[in-house]
């Protein structure tokens, strides 16, 4: 009856009867079931957030120097769009592999190997010769291998460190890295290329930071117990004026992306937490509202892009803010409708589907806007891209509709995950029976009727 696998349930009377026993057990109760101390867990979240920021910095570093890449290799928009497409495709295809491994093997070691590989391949891509554009495509594809090994696993570690509202807050910190990293990647990439007078140096920033991340993972991060917390089981300097002139062209969009991302993630989490008190379907409803509200602002940002700069940036600000509301919430939803031993696989499946239907082909599709041009004038170069980008507003509306549909099923899915019992193990469920005036938990198999 007093085995280590049974968890006693003390009533108020029993607490009064045995205060010394409760005092003796207090240090043990304060120890986290995950096996990771609270300070180490918080440090782990910040390290994972740092690595996630590096991932998105690397993705948008290429965007910051894309005109230089096109000029260096003498390619058009269609071919340059392939750089993102090959990355997303390898990322998407390999995500299930690492999801499988992440649910079965040491997640910290998998991430260390993946980030090391990603850092080395990114560094190698900066030495691509002018006549071998295919080699740059190949190395960008290999970068997806490293990122897949991280993105499918890192959220599950956070899930094994925290639960409920605290988990949502930690995931919001983790996903702040997406807008911040995206904005920083665009800014750092463009500025390093300008300062070094060579775009290749832009691709040599994140690899060094990535190796630092590996050291932090190895010596600071500790692998938590799965589900236990849920009681389950060198640069040339330019003048200050030159810096300002260059930043005026690149900094505005980067700053908007950083600020709106932070505001969007924060407001989304806050709205969800407040609405949860009244509506258990708050998470998908907030996500739907964010996407539906972003659609008209993104549309007007594209429409006003030709003549009204202030209005364009205003609409971009509002559109990106609403668009960012769902990032942390979606991750939380995915984790609480899946049992702990299958979460890496679920993350992998989510990555496959979202990238398959989204950014796997979108850069290439936008590049195909060349086919919409009636002439080769600058005006039609602009208008063709403008027409292509209007697709984003339509996709936001469709995404909002899907979140509304999700609200119909979210409660049932969450209940099934929380009450999941593996087949053939129902006889191990604990029940409460009276014993000597206090309640205790014993296995069903121990009770003979």
Please report, for the chain, the start and end positions of each structural domain, with discontinuous segments joined by +: 34-230, 238-417
> Which pLDDT value is given to residue 179?
79
Model confidence at 388, pLDDT cuts 50, 70, 90, reads: confident
In this structure, whether the domain defined by 238-417 belongs to CATH 1.20.1250.20 is answered with yes
Answer yes or no: are the C-beta atoms of 118 and 208 closer than 8 Å.
no
Q: What percent of the chain has pLDDT over 90?
A: 13
pLDDT of 359: 66
Is the model's pTM score more than 0.85?
no
Q: In this structure, which topology does domain 34-230 adopt according to CATH? A: Growth Hormone; Chain: A; (1.20.1250)
| Contact criterion met (CB below 8 Å) for 153 and 104 | no
Share of the chain above pLDDT 70, in %: 78
The yes-or-no verdict on residue 324 having pLDDT over 90 is no
At 443, give phi and psi (nearest 5°): -65, 150
Residue with tokens 């008190």: 277
pLDDT at residue 180, as a whole number: 81
Confidence at 358, pLDDT banded by 50, 70, 90: confident
Helix axes 107-125, 38-64, angle to 10 degrees: 20
Query: pLDDT grade, residue 116 (50/70/90)?
Result: very high
Residues sharing a CB contact under 8 Å with residue 251, sequence separation 6 or more, in sequence order:
187
Does residue 340 carry a pLDDT above 60? yes
User: Do the domains 238-417 and 34-230 match in fold?
Assistant: yes
Check residue 247 and give its pLDDT: 55
Across 100-104, 278-282, 350-354, 442-446, least confident range = 442-446
């Amino acid at each position: 009856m007093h085995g280590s696998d049974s968890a006693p349930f003390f009533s108020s009377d029993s607490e009064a009867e045995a205060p010394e026993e409760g005092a003796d057990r207090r240090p043990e109760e304060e120890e986290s079931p995950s096996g990771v101390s609270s300070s180490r867990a918080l440090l782990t979240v910040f390290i994972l957030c740092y690595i996630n920021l590096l991932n998105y910095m690397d993705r948008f570093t290429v965007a910051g120097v894309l005109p230089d890449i096109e000029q260096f290799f003498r390619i058009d928009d269609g071919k340059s769009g392939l750089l993102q497409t090959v990355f997303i495709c390898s990322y998407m295809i390999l995500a299930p592999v690492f999801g499988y491994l992440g649910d079965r093997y040491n997640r910290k070691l998998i991430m260390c190997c993946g980030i090391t590989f990603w850092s080395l391949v990114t560094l190698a891509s900066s030495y691509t010769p002018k006549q071998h554009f295919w080699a740059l495509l190949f190395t960008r594809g290999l970068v997806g291998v490293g990122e897949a090994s991280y993105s499918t696993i890192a959220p599950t570690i956070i899930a094994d460190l925290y639960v409920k509202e605290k988990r949502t807050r930690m995931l919001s910190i983790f996903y702040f890295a997406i807008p911040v990293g995206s904005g920083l990647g665009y800014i750092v990439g463009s500025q390093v290329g300008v300062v070094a007078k060579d775009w290749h140096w832009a691709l040599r920033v994140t690899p060094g930071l990535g190796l630092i991340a590996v050291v932090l993972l190895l010596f600071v991060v500790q692998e938590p117990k799965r589900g236990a917390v849920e009681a389950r089981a060198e640069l040339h300097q330019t003048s200050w004026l030159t810096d300002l002139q260059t930043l005026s062209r690149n900094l505005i969009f980067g700053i908007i992306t950083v600020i709106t991302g932070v505001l969007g993630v924060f407001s989304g989490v806050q709205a969800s937490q407040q609405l949860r008190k009244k509506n258990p379907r708050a998470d998908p409803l907030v996500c739907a509202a964010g996407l539906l509200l972003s659609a008209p602002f993104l549309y007007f940002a594209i429409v006003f892009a030709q003549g009204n700069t202030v209005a364009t940036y205003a609409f971009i600000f509002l559109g990106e803010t609403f668009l960012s509301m769902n990032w942390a919430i979606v991750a939380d939803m995915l984790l609480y409708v899946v049992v702990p031993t299958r979460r890496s696989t679920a993350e992998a499946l989510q990555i496959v589907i979202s990238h398959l239907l989204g950014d796997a082909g979108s850069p290439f599709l936008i590049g195909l806007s060349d086919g919409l041009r009636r002439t080769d004038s600058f005006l039609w170069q602009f208008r063709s891209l403008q027409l292509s980008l209007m697709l984003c507003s339509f996709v936001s509306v469709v995404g909002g509709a899907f979140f509304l549909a999700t609200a119909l099923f979210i409660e049932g899915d969450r209940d099934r995950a929380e009450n999941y019992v593996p087949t053939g193990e129902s006889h191990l469920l604990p029940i409460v029976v009276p014993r000597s005036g206090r309640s205790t938990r014993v296995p069903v198999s121990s009770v003979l009727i």
